[in-house]
Structure 1
Amino acid sequence: MQAIWKGTVSFGLVSIPVRLYAATEEKGVSFRQVHDADGGRIKYKRVCSVDGEEVAYRDIVKGYELPDGDTIVLTDEDFSALPLATKRVIDVLQFVPLEQVDGVYLSKPYYLSAEGPGTKPYVLLRDALEGAGRAALVKVALRNRESLAVMRPKDGALLVQTMLWPDEVRDAAPFAPEQEVTVRDQEVAMAQSYIETLSGDFDPSGFTDDYRVALEQLVEAKVNGREVPETEEPEDSGGQVVDLMAALRASVEAAQSRRAGTDTATAPAARAASPSSSGGGTTKTAAAATKAPAKSTAAAKKAPARAAAKSTTTKSTTTGSTAAAKKTATKKAATASTAAKKAPAKKTAAKKSA
């Protein structure tokens, strides 16, 4: 692996020679831009807007455009001449509790590797930071940009993570809800119950990039001339929640079922269909409403079965009464089906009141 920076860490009067290496690598499926007709790759040329000629990469420099449209050309020599003490030195400014550093400021992480005689002071700084439970706030210049950064121990090494400057972080106020919203204590308690159900220690190895896996499977299927099996997409409720408490309760029960490794397809949705005990009346969530007919259907199926048994008995007695028995069974089935549609809500409400 190639180092992207070489210099020293200034730790008081102690200088630690180090090299800086990228601590992360983004993985994904790479694509090329191609012509849809023949698959030919699309190429881009760097062309000067003045003379229309193609320009070699070695002849391209940076330019700063002024408000009036004029451009100031800056060369590599101009950047090298900038009076930055942090170009080759990581300067320790302060030692701070890491929990005080808001994650919104953190940017790209790098590993520091000790060089030759710098191994002992490197280990000394690492162990001292770990013992103090603090991180070093430092300044470093990388890629023509000076940044604040935090330096902390990680798995036996020192990690430097660059930070954004305060004026680079947008104010959150414009994104907060403008209108006053009243949230009931019961709703907060139910939401906290859901949070508690899914609480645990952070283990990044337990998560996968499903999108990247799906893309790799798609490419593999294309290579082998196979069709990619279609996957069922989850139903979109449109983001509208009619009964917030019922939705939260269903979410908690679904999370508990997943934790227990049990089937989550029926129980949470069936319970979500029941009336909310916290002022929801007979209002239901959209998801619960779609599940409710299943109960009435099941009850209706049972009712014709009982009616069919009665008609069979009647048929063995006399054939003349068969038609009447069937009519009676049909009426009973219809009555039972109607009652079954109303019964779940009443029974549920009775259970809750009990």
Structure 2
Amino acid sequence: MANPVWTGTLSFGLVSMGARLYSARERHGPTTHQFVKGTSDRVRYKRVNESTGEPVSQDDIVKGAQYGSDRDSYVVLEPEELERIQPVRSKTLEVEGFVETASIDPLWYASTYYVGPDKGAAKPYRLLCRALTESGRAGLGRMVMRGREHLVLITPQQGVLTASTLYWPDEIREPEDVMRPPSGEVEDKDLELAEQLIEAMAADWEPDQYTDEYERRLEELIEAKAKGSTISYEPEEPEEQGKVVALDDALRRSLQERRGKKGGRKTGGARRAPAPRRSQEQASAEKSAPEQRNAPTKKELMARAKELGVEGRSKMSRDELAAAVDSAG
């Protein structure tokens, strides 16, 4: 069971309940470190005094902030001073209003947490979750977490509540701040073709069909290096360059190609990765085990498991998927 990142009170109107926030996301995959080239010596970083170069203890470090136009002008902020300016709602997530969920653009979302009820709060928790689901609205409020005040959106997800921190208005850039928006009009014939192409490429959101290809390759490389070998992949063929195609012609050809595809499989899954180019040692080992070389990939097994309606497939390992598919099939 994960540890909560925040514990306090969630309130809307005169209704309040104890609540806990849990991180809804986590990163997976190998962790790489820095080494001195040609050795196994790790590279470490130390806190040092910029002027003297001497190490500094964590107990001797305080926060400071730059002010004015002079880059060397700072004020030191003592821990007691920072604590005194904490807002009153440091342990309260108070909903100030309910907004249409669809009115909040994804651009505003920062981080998302699962909201869990504290002891004795199950009834109001279920009530709020059901009411938000039925109304299509989300609770908008504010809270303090990790020393900062956050704008928070409370929404129902998969039968539970989530709290998504939002960026403040002054943190959102306008497109004109970073780029020059394109000008000109869209021709009706091109728009019609683009809409047809979008419809032809329509797909369902099926996250278990997507995998982190780089992470998979990195894990294979680490495993191969640990065995004294290496691994690489055949380069993917680059797209044809230098040939200028009119927009309407490109749209028509794309639409014809999409309609001409056979098998009825919708676009949406990740492209099949090119086969890895093995080292000589690995190639010899694979020749002695052709059944392993021709075994279906986890992604292929996942697709087959979906067709067969295998439950819990997204949490299964490759071997578990193979067994489940074999049993269901």
After TM superposition, list the pairs within 5 Å mapping 1:137-216 onto structure 2. Answer: 137-173=140-176, 175-178=179-182, 180-216=183-219
CA contact (8 A) 1:241 1:247 kept: no
Q: How far apart are 1:239 and its partner, in Å? A: 7.3
Distance 2:216 2:135 in 1: 42
Distance 2:254 2:35 in 1: 45
Q: How far apart are 1:238 and its partner, in Å? A: 4.1
Aligned with 2:81 (options 78, 82, 89): 78
Going from structure 1 to structure 2, the CA distance change for 1:239 and 1:7 (only over 3 Å counts) comes to farther
What is the match of residue 125 of structure 2?
Answer: 122
Distance 1:241 1:28 in 2: 40
Q: Which range moves more in the overlay, 203-212 or 230-239? A: 230-239
- Structure with larger Rg: 1
Aligned with 1:136 (options 116, 126, 139): 139
- SS of equivalent to 1:202: coil
Distance 1:194 1:239 in 2: 24
Distance 1:32 1:109 in 2: 28
CA contact (8 A) 1:19 1:112 kept: yes
Amino acid at match of 2:195: Q
Unaligned residue ranges in structure 1 (runs of 5+): 263-354
Q: How far apart are 1:2 and its partner, in Å? A: 1.6
- SS of equivalent to 1:93: strand
CA contact (8 A) 2:224 2:230 kept: yes
Distance 1:230 1:96 in 2: 49
Q: How far apart are 1:226 and its partner, in Å? A: 3.3
- 1:225-270 CA-partner distances (Å, limit 9, x unpaired): 33424323232434763232332233223434556369xxxxxxxx
Is 1:56 matched with 2:46?
no
Higher strand residue share: 2
- 1:137-159 CA-partner distances (Å, limit 9, x unpaired): 11111222111111011122110
Q: How far apart are 1:112 and its partner, in Å? A: 1.1
Going from structure 1 to structure 2, the CA distance change for 1:202 and 1:23 (only over 3 Å counts) comes to same
Going from structure 1 to structure 2, the CA distance change for 1:58 and 1:10 (only over 3 Å counts) comes to same
What is the match of residue 98 of structure 1?
Answer: 101
Unaligned residue ranges in structure 2 (runs of 5+): 266-329
- 1:53-76 CA-partner distances (Å, limit 9, x unpaired): 201223322111222423222233
What is the match of residue 47 of structure 2?
Answer: 46
TM superposition score normalised by structure 1 = 0.68
Distance 1:134 1:102 in 2: 14
Amino acid at match of 2:148: R
State the Cα RMSD in Å: 2.2
Aligned with 2:111 (options 108, 111, 114): 108
Is 1:4 matched with 2:11?
no
- Structure 1 residue ranges (4+ consecutive) displaced by more than 6 angstroms after TM superposition: none
CA contact (8 A) 1:152 1:158 kept: yes
TM superposition score normalised by structure 2 = 0.73
CA contact (8 A) 1:97 1:135 kept: yes
Aligned with 2:250 (options 240, 247, 252): 247
Amino acid at match of 2:113: Y
- 1:145-198 CA-partner distances (Å, limit 9, x unpaired): 1111110111221100000111111111353444x4354333222222221112
Going from structure 1 to structure 2, the CA distance change for 1:39 and 1:236 (only over 3 Å counts) comes to farther
Distance 2:46 2:86 in 1: 35
- SS of equivalent to 1:126: helix
Q: How far apart are 1:83 and its partner, in Å? A: 4.2
What is the match of residue 26 of structure 2?
Answer: 25
CA contact (8 A) 2:29 2:219 kept: no
What is the match of residue 16 of structure 2?
Answer: 15
CA contact (8 A) 2:12 2:96 kept: no
- SS of equivalent to 1:50: coil
- 1:115-136 CA-partner distances (Å, limit 9, x unpaired): 1122221122112212222110
CA contact (8 A) 1:4 1:21 kept: yes
- SS of equivalent to 1:116: coil
Higher helix residue share: 1
CA contact (8 A) 2:115 2:163 kept: yes
CA contact (8 A) 2:193 2:251 kept: yes
Distance 2:261 2:163 in 1: 38
What is the match of residue 35 of structure 2?
Answer: 34
Distance 1:39 1:251 in 2: 51
